[in-house]
Structure 1
Amino acid sequence: MRTWTRKNTFGGMRLRSELDAHEATVLRSLVTSVTGLLEERAASAPTDELAALTGMRTGNTETPSDAVLARLLPDFQRADPDAPPDPEQGNVNSALRGLHEPEIIDDKVAAGAVILETVPAEGGKVALTPEQADSWLVGLNDLRLALGTNLGIDSDTPDELEEGDPRAPHLDIYHWLTWMQDSLVQALAS
């Protein structure tokens, strides 16, 4: 992938880059996997009688058991490690999750859809409007969160893993996504 550049055109500002065929395939595959997880989570939401009466959508009230989904859809409030346990906090998180998770999932899936719509399947030039670039930033961040969770990336993870470590190729993809996201932020900010 080439560094993102910012170009002013008669149709407005565009952010441009280019992906080779392999990069396009990897990016499309990652987006499809993450959006698939999110769509499965949305489909698993229980039906709610009140929602059926009011037309108001509700989602799951439980924190996802899958580590990737838990990272993509974290609790709304986290316990203060120095405070005594508060039994009400779980109720607050459940209520907030039930109300807001469907919209959050919709936004994440929509961001993934923008990436899939703008990445040529066989690679090639990519030109984004500022709104599409914002969706790319959301989608790339979700990809990094998902991949980082699967790889167990934390502040102690080295930039390069030892030869033979099965996570090494995936860490390279994580770094590529990080670079792509940073390059896009720099182009937007210039």
Structure 2
Amino acid sequence: MTSVQLTDAGRIRIDFEPDEATMLADLAGQIADLITDAPHDSAFTRLFPPAYRDDSAAAAEFERFERAGLAEGKVNAARTVHAAASVGELDPGEIVEVELDDDDVWPWLTHLTDVRSVLADRLGIEDDDSEIQPDDELLTLLPLYDWLGWLQGAIIAALESLEVGEGAVTGEGGEAD
């Protein structure tokens, strides 16, 4: 089960089960592919919403000048997560330890937001009041969506505790701290 805690050096350490780390690495690869290869995918609009909803000319200009840089940032964030979460063969019971320093935290948070945005698109989640149909084949994605939200929240809580100088923040995947 995933845990998030602060190290004595002020880094954020995340311990993953091997299958969790593998899943994160796989998702990172899928997100990078989506950004670079699938601009007509409905989730692409979630990742790159119009900058100006009421001004199509301004939105087009923003997209022309900024989209490539935004896409590069998202792909680099996915690659950061992929590199950290990619594991080789592990012995049974081994955990995957990932330590995030100041340079790693924001790419991780960016990537987790991107993955959750894509999953929300796949699940048909438009807002907090969206209802998911129980017979939907994609319903199996809901626990993943929730777990990624928990992980993102735990990283943010650890960051906040660093800023106020509190002790370690620990948590178990899927449970609120």
**Which category describes the TM-score, using the shorter chain as reference length?**
0.7 to 0.9
**Number of residue equivalences:** 154
Match of 1:48 in 2: none
User: Conserved in 2, the CA contact under 8 Å of 1:161 and 1:167?
Assistant: no
4+ runs deviating over 4 angstroms = none
Q: Does 1:72 align with 2:47?
A: yes
Distance 2:42 2:125 in 1: 13
Distance 2:5 2:35 in 1: 31
Percent identity, aligned pairs only, is 26
Describe the shift of the 1:7–1:161 C-alpha distance in structure 2 as closer, same or farther (beyond 3 A).
farther
User: Conserved in 2, the CA contact under 8 Å of 1:4 and 1:16?
Assistant: yes
Distance 1:112 1:99 in 2: 22
User: Conserved in 1, the CA contact under 8 Å of 2:80 and 2:108?
Assistant: yes
User: Conserved in 2, the CA contact under 8 Å of 1:144 and 1:178?
Assistant: yes
Distance 2:34 2:40 in 1: 12
Distance 2:83 2:40 in 1: 30
List alignment gaps of at least 5 residues for structure 1.
Answer: 42-63, 80-88
Q: Does 1:184 align with 2:155?
A: yes
Q: What is the TM-score when the length of structure 2 is the normalising length? A: 0.79
Match of 2:18 in 1: 21
Structure 1 SS opposite 2:15: strand
Match of 1:117 in 2: 83
Structure 1 SS opposite 2:6: strand
Q: What is the TM-score when the length of structure 1 is the normalising length? A: 0.74
Cα RMSD, aligned residues only: 1.9
- Structure with greater Cα Rg: 1
Describe the shift of the 1:74–1:97 C-alpha distance in structure 2 as closer, same or farther (beyond 3 A).
same
Match of 2:60 in 1: 94
List alignment gaps of at least 5 residues for structure 2.
Answer: 89-94, 162-177
